[in-house]
Copies of this chain bind each other. A is one copy, B any other.
Amino acid sequence: MKNYVIKGNICYSKTSKELCMTENGYIVCEDGRCAGVYERLPEKYQSLPCYNYEDKIIVPGLVDLHIHAPQYSFRGRGMDLELIDWLNTHTFAEEAKYADLEYAKKAYGIFAEDLKNSATTRACIFATIHTPATLLLMEELEETGLKAYVGKVNMDRNSPEYLCESSAEKSEKDTEEWLIESRKFKNIKPVLTPRFTPSCTDELFERLSKLQKRYGLPVQSHLSENLGETLWVKELCLDIGFYGESYDRYGMFGDGCPTIMAHCVHSGEDEIEMMRRQKVFIAHCPESNANLSSGAAPVKLYLEKGMKVGLGSDIAAGSALSIFKAMVMAVQCSKLRWRLYDQTVLPLTVEEVFYLATKGGGEFFGKVGSFEEGYEFDALVLDDSRIRHPQELSVRERLERLIYLSGECHIAAKFVNGRIIFREN
């Protein structure tokens, strides 16, 4: 079915301040895109088939700008360490297992199915250094109908021998083979993924930079996450002013190269200004930043500067796959940051985190994350009927409640680019 109508209580963001709500309204989907939201269905659409979701709440699909698929297997464990110790103790050992395709098949099968059933419709995903397992992950995801970027990870230094590519040249060669192989996928696209500056030699960055230009690839990596990490980068790169320059000098920091940098908790003024100017997307991962004692990013400041920001689960430094939970944590961490650390940056509001989780992150994928005209039709139909309550509630009240209590509502239907991923009955 190419064109159809959806009926229900429709909620979406136009800006980070403006939450639009149409009760008992209609969304028209034409060729995978929103043709409009209506209180009354215009004459010309009345012959289209209509999914009537009655009193349920319909929101844009949620976008996860930063998630590590191989780490999904150990989420919620090993949470008493900071970043570098956590990587060395838990993470690298787990990622090394994906050299074994049989293990990868089992683990990525679980990941893809859980992601399909989650509130996420779009994701930017780190795999591991292993090309076969990365292609397998892309296959598993392709079948779900979700849209995602997946990156084979590059790392050729400061990594344990069992998870370190043997040379920059080999890393480049594997990456190019993987890029060519991944042309077969329709929903899943490759993204260049140097793990982070401490893991990549200058030579590797140079080689990846050439691939980036040759294939016109987007880039994802980590930036200014943890104090120990940022100090280490300073030691490793004596010739730069700030961490972000270690990517920028290879043309992999926005400015025409679509780039996501995860975290940006400890970014200084110059780094923030370069990200703003070069339209780098920030993946804000509040649960991860709390779990690894990294801190809390000044997200309200980023929004006020008109920067590009979305949310990330950062599995497994974050334990929750749900971007609803990331919304709540983003508000909570911004409040603690304000109270405990810096009263010049105000806490985030519910409107703002809803925007971040939808249109904010969605922009990395184009016109995604809203129901405005021309946006790709990604939608969740949310059934909150299991959350019993004694009083009448407005749609705005129900929306806030289901964000906070996301574990208690369930997803009755999910659409990506107009295609049904699943629905009840």
Contact = CB atoms under 8 A, between A and B. Distances in A.
Interface in A36-91: 73-80
Contacts of A293: 335-336, 338-339, 347
A336 B333 contact: yes
A263 B404 CA distance: 21
Contacts of A182: none
A79, A97, A293, A339: residue with the most chain B Cβ atoms closer than 10 Å: A339
A75 B341 contact: no
Given A319-B405, A337-B340, A340-B336, A107 B77 contact: no
A183 interface: no
Nearest to A387: B76
A388 interface: yes
Contact of A76 (B294, B319, B405): B405
A294 B74 CA distance: 32
Q: What number of copies of this chain does the assembly contain?
A: 2
Contacts of A80: 347, 349-350
A401 interface: yes
Interface range, A side = 35 or more
A99 to B, nearest CB: 14
Contacts of A296: 336, 340
Nearest to A113: B388
A114 B408 CA distance: 11
Interface stretch (A10-18, A192-200, A389-397): A389-397
A294 B405 contact: no
B389 A76 contact: no
A290 interface: yes
A338 B296 CA distance: 12
A412 interface: no
21 contacts: A73-B389, A74-B389, A75-B404, A75-B405, A76-B400, A77-B404, A79-B331, A79-B404, A80-B349, A80-B350, A106-B390, A107-B391, A290-B335, A291-B335, A292-B335, A293-B339, A293-B347, A333-B336, A336-B337, A340-B340, A341-B341
Interface of A: 73-80, 97, 103, 106-107, 110, 114, 227, 287, 290-296, 319-320, 328, 331-333, 335-341, 347, 349-350, 388-391, 397, 400-405, 407
Given A75-B405, A291-B335, A294-B339, 6 more contacts: A74-B391, A76-B405, A80-B349, A290-B333, A291-B331, A296-B336
